[in-house]
Structures are given as structure tokens and as C-alpha cells.
Structure 1
Amino acid sequence: MRRLLTALMLYCTWAQAEQPVLRFSVAESWSMPLVRVVDDQPVEGLLFDLMQALAREAEVRPQYHVLARLRLQQAMEDGDIDVRCYVSTRWFNDRPGNFVWSIPLIAQRDVLVGRPGDTQPVVAAQLPTQAIGTVLGYAYDTLEPLFDQGRLLREDSRSQQLALQKLQAGRYQHAVSNELSLRWFNQQVPPGQRLTQQAVLEEQALGCLVRNDPAVPTQRLLRALVRMKESGQIDRIVQRYGAADYTAAGAR
């Protein structure tokens, strides 16, 4: 029995060593429910669960690189990362060189958020000149013309959670958030302190980019994502973080 256990342990060690190492990017601006980072490594969250599941499905060993959002593009160009998830085709003017798009996986709705008690729907284009809470390095297509005209002013934070915390503290009257992060934030505070959704700004489908390189099992990863989407595994991961209807655009 002891010899059998030793043999099994040796086999598992060998099998793991044979799996290719894939470098996944993690944006440091992400916060829960997308990801929680401890000591420069992700430990939980929707995207962490998704990337872990993808690594298991494709039989690769994940290695996580936490980067500032503004450094992600350069890391892709330099070949420092192999997989970048939670991205939209609309965020790029041209297809990133040497990377292949996955199918759409998850929906993201960007919403205009107001302070507790501000329940009246608003139209962003009709807001008076004011600062709007935003996240450093994020582009907001619907609001860009208003930023360019100076009718709205960006007040950047390093993460989505920090932008919402500043709104709750009264630093500004409105902020932009993805709907999933807003729901998560409101679950952590008393009812009277919950922020309000005042308008949907845009909705887009997000997927992953996989480096197209002989050293990367590109097609294996892309096929794994198709299986995960078709089996409902990705939807179940999203629902685990409190958003039962959040994959609609991804399904489309």
C-alpha cells in the first residue's frame, strides 16, 4: 500500500510538471466580486474562479500576474502574459497582435450611480457640470464626449470599490460602476447607506484574449472556454457572486 501511494504521488507530481504554465493577467483595479488580491496574488472572486476553472479544463498550470490596468496593453505587446480575460472588442481600435479572441462569455453593464436616497432616474447628458467618480485607465464610451467637452470631469480612483466608497462619503454626486460591482458593494453596507442605480450607460459582452504562439495551447484554451460556456459552468460562476441574470449579453 505504501509503495502504491508513493507511486501515485510521484505520478501526480510528474503529471503536474508536464502541464504547461499559462500566465494570466489580473488588473489591480479589479475588486470584489471580480477578484480579491492578497500579497500580489488573487485568492477569490468571479474572475479568479473563471481562470482557475479554465486552467483545469485546459489542463494548464495558472500563473497570475497582477498589473496596473495601463500596463496591460504593453504586457501583451511584450509577450509577458498569455491570457487576458474580462475584455471587450470595443476596447481596442485594432485586434491585438498575436492574440485570438474567445467567444463572448460575460455581460457587463456600466451604470451611473447616485448617493443613498438619490432614486430619481437621470440622463447623463443633462447633468450639470460636475466631477464623476471613475476608475483609472477605464474608458466610458457613452461619457467620453461629455468629458471631452468639459461638461463632466473625471475623478479617477485606482479601483471600482474605491470609486464607490468615495461616492458614499460624498466626494462627488455620481460615479460610474459596472452593475455587478455595485450590487456587491451594496450587499456589504446597511440598507440606508446603499448607493442607487440611476441610469444604464452601456452594455457589452466580455471575453478572453489568448496569445497565439507555438508555446501556448491556444486552441485548447479557446475550445475549453466554449465547453465551459455551453455547459453553463461560466453562468454558474457568475451566479455564485449574486447576479442570476448577469450573463444575458454574454449569451447573445
Structure 2
Amino acid sequence: MKGDIALITGAGRRQGIGAAICRSLAREGNHVWFTCLPEVEEDEAGRLAEELHSFGVQARFSPINLADAQAPRQLLEKVEAEWDLPRILVNNAAHSERDLTFETLDADGLDAHYAVNLRASLLLSVQFARRCPSGSDGRIISMTSGQSLGAMPGELAYVATKGGIEAFTRTLAAEVAPKGITVNAVNPGPTDTGWITEEIRRELLPRFPLGRIGLPEDAARLVAFLARKEAGWITGQVIHSEGGFYR
């Protein structure tokens, strides 16, 4: 295949950040392989793949549950066997349940978040890095949620596991730098992917000095920039691209 390959997790919803990232990377000429949840999102994922083909690139998707500990390895092996090694990895898939407070959090709730948000992202990242040859200009980009900037009551499991992404981004960046791989994380802030009600919009909008709530395309443009070979001097960073959002 001519052109670079990008692997993006959690892109089944066409309104979501993952789908917007797929579009941005496809516009730049990257072939796109993305994941979605089995059954629930397959029809929508198929429509996204057709849309990506219109950019003149190849596009495929894998219905896969990243909570399975073997899923990261199986996913990379499948992409490599049927296409080639990806140059770009975007860890976008996330598990989130609200109302997990100190009074309701239990082991099952914590494990469900850990398996997808942290374990799958870290396993994909290290296995991707092992496969990348030195000097490949590999890119690992993970999505985080600004949990280090302020409290997020009711989301204890989510903030704990997403916080782990910020930690491993900095250390993994140092470990894989000799291979020419960069590792960064992006916090897009509150983003309208279809979940924002009018009540939430009224609450959030005054906190955005730029006068609007974030869109999936805002995050996608930054990810696409970090994925370019020209961004090879940026690594180990957690970039808060929130339109000036204040808590």
C-alpha cells in the first residue's frame, strides 16, 4: 500500500471524536483502519468506512471489544497481516459510566473502566512501539479528558483511568524516543458529540471565552497535526485544546 496507515480505536459513532479523527487523517492521505464495538455500531461504522473511501484512501474497521485483554495484540496482528504496519496509532476508545462516586464505586465498575481506558491503550501503545522499526516516525496519540485540571464529581473510575494515560504518555515518550516515535495526549475539553442537552449547553457555554462549545473537528485537526512527520519534535506532551474552557 502506498501511503501511511493510521489505526484509530473507538470510531464507530459518526458524530464522535473518533470518526472526526478518521476523516482528518484520511484527508491527509492516510489509509484508515478503525475499531467499533461489536454489533452496536457496525452499521454506522460501515457508513463511515464508505465516507472515508471518498477521500481516495483505503478504509476498514474491526468490530472488537477492547476490554478483552487479548484484543490489542489481535487487532495489531490483523492490521499488519492484511495491510501493513501502521505508522499512526490513536487511542480514542473510552468507557465511561457516570454516578460512580465514593458511595457507589465497586471493583466491577473500576475494572470496566481500567480495561478499556488504560489497559487497552497502554497495551496497544507498547505493542505498536515494539513493531515500529527505528526511524519510522511513528506516532502514538491518546485522548484524555482534562481530569488533572479539576475535579469531575461522579466519575471516580473514569478520572482515575484517564489520569493514567497522562502518566504513561510522558514516560513512554522517553522510552520510545530513540526509535523516532513520538507519544502525546490530547484533551479536547467538553465536546459536542450529541450528548449535550440544552440545559448542559446553557451551563457550559459561558465557560468558553471563544463563544462556542468544542466540536469533534477541533480535536481531530490537532490529532492530524501531531500525526504528521513535521510534528516530530513534539513528544511527551498533554495538550489541553479546550478553546479556553475554564472550570
Give the TM-score range, shorter chain.
0.3 to 0.5
Higher relative contact order (Cα pairs below 8 Å, separated by 6+ residues): 1
Tell me which structure has the larger Cα radius of gyration: 1
TM-score calculated relative to the size of structure 1: 0.34
Structure number with the higher strand fraction is 1
TM-score calculated relative to the size of structure 2: 0.35
Structure number with the higher helix fraction is 2
